[in-house]
């Protein structure tokens, strides 16, 4: 099978690898499309070094081609979407219902073979059947939409509250779309004016940089979602968050951020982490929202590339100019 292997930072090579064979609890999926995620970009750039050459990609959809001996409930040819974070199920965090922070979890495209390939084997419990009512374009965006949904669940701000979203990559744009769908009043900020325009066209307001702290207070912002993934932006949010608000950390900045404890404590500001999603409820809710025609995440897709041109797609993703890029296997 063809697969795109990250050999070294900023060097992906499409190779012929052996087609995988499903174990007893797995299904073999013939992949059709895979979205490029911000975490793929970080791995491509070498911000996080992988110990061995790895097939990246985790936002995959495709069709069941083979079924392991202990798997039931699937049929050959069924269209499916991959849930790529697989907790161990036995550690103390998993036992407490915190599988999203399981230190032993298998992550497709990081410590197990990824979805920039023609085939992948996956634990059947993390393979979701897709209703016919969900288009391929929406299906390939289910995983990042589940990340956005989880972030919204982390916040205690109710619908009709005012929220702010910093950073309009795929997660930020999907969070904006989801929050507007659920009745929140949404304000956004991104350095890319075209992405801001996408959010504004849906009904979001644009945050000013001048007088930001006063503006956030005047608009009674209840929650600020940091979807940037850069410490400079996190520091700005920490400095300007209004009294009584929440800061939800969604971006994956790995630099040092700073805050003044006195401000955080005195003004009752909460800092809440949001990482991936809870299994299985977040994926189930995400699929149901799309199936009920309440949200169309595929609308953020801005470009598609064949697998043979994945490095070209990755370079564009690095630039930050694209809202969402998808790699097609054929």
| Listed residue (8, 228, 26) closest to 108, CA to CA | 26
- pLDDT confidence of residue 282: 97
Query: Which burial class, exposed, middle or buried, applies to 27 when counting CB atoms under 10 A from its CB (0-12, 13-18, 19+)?
Result: buried
- Examine the domain organization and report whether 67 and 174 are in the same domain: no
Structural domain containing residue 247: 145-273
Calculate the alpha carbon distances from 279 to 114, 143, 201, 319 in Å. 19, 12, 33, 32
Closest CA to 297 of 81, 135, 167, 168: 135
Residues 118 and 210 in one domain: no
Q: CATH number of the domain at 234, please.
A: 3.40.50.720
- Taking the alpha carbons at both ends of the chain, their separation in whole angstroms is 12
Residue 330: per-residue pLDDT: 81
80 to 67, 122, 125: CA distances (angstroms): 13, 11, 12
pLDDT the model gives residue 79: 98
Per-residue pLDDT tens over the stretch 225-282? 999 999 999 999 999 999 999 999 999 888 999 999 999 999 999 999 999 999 999 9
Confidence of residue 202 (pLDDT cuts 50, 70, 90): very high
Band of the pLDDT at 319, cuts 50, 70, 90? very high
- Identify whether the C-beta of residue 150 lies closer than 8 Å to the C-beta of residue 83: no
Check whether residue 312 and residue 264 sit in a common domain. no
Q: Looking at the domain assignment, is residue 279 inside a domain?
A: no
User: How far is residue 231 CA from its own chain's centroid?
Assistant: 19
pLDDT digits over 72-84, tens only? 999 999 999 999 9
157 shares a domain with 65: no
**Domain assignment of residue 11, yes or no:** yes
- Residue that the structure tokens 């769908």 belong to: 181
pLDDT in tens, 111-123: 999 999 999 999 9
248 burial class (0-12, 13-18, 19+ CB within 10 angstroms)? buried
Please identify which residue in the block is written with the tokens 């059709």.
32
Once rounded to an integer, what is the mean pLDDT over residues 283-310? 97
Instruction: Give per-residue pLDDT as tens, 115-155.
Output: 999 999 999 999 999 999 999 999 999 999 999 999 999 99
Is the per-residue pLDDT at 209 higher than 90?
no
Question: Using one digit for the tens of pLDDT, what is the confidence trace for 22-52?
Answer: 999 999 999 999 999 999 999 999 988 899 9
How high is the mean pLDDT of the chain? 97
């Amino acid at each position: 099978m063809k697969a795109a292997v990250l050999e070294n930072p900023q060097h992906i090579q499409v190779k012929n690898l052996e087609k995988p064979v499903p174990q007893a609890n797995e299904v073999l999926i013939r992949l059709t499309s895979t979205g490029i995620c911000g975490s793929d970009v970080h791995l491509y750039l070498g911000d996080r070094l992988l110990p061995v050459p790895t097939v990246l990609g985790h936002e995959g959809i495709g069709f069941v081609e083979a079924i392991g001996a202990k798997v039931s409930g699937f049929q050959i040819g069924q269209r499916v979407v991959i849930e790529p974070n697989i907790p161990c199920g036995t550690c103390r965090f998993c036992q407490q219902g915190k599988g999203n922070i399981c230190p032993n979890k298998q992550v497709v495209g990081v410590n197990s073979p990824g979805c920039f390939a023609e085939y992948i084997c996956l634990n059947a419990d993390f393979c979701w059947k897709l209703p016919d009512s969900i288009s391929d374009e929406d299906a390939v965006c289910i995983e990042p939409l589940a990340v956005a949904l989880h972030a919204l669940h982390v916040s205690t701000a109710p619908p009709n509250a005012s929220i702010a979203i910093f950073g309009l990559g795929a997660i930020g744009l999907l969070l904006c779309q989801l929050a507007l769908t659920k009745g929140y009043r949404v304000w956004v900020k991104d350095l890319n004016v075209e992405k801001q325009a996408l959010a504004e066209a849906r009904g979001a307001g644009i945050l000013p940089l001048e007088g930001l702290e006063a503006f956030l207070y005047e608009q009674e912002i209840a929650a600020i979602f940091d979807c940037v993934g850069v410490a400079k932006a996190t520091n700005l949010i920490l400095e300007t968050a209004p009294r009584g608000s929440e800061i939800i950390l969604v971006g994956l900045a790995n630099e040092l951020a700073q805050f003044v404890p006195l401000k955080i404590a005195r003004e009752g500001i909460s800092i809440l982490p949001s990482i991936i999603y809870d299994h299985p409820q977040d994926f189930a809710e995400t699929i149901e929202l799309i199936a009920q025609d309440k949200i169309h995440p595929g609308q953020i897709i801005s470009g598609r590339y064949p697998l043979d041109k994945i490095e070209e797609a990755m370079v564009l993703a690095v630039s930050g100019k694209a809202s969402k890029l998808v790699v097609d296997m054929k």
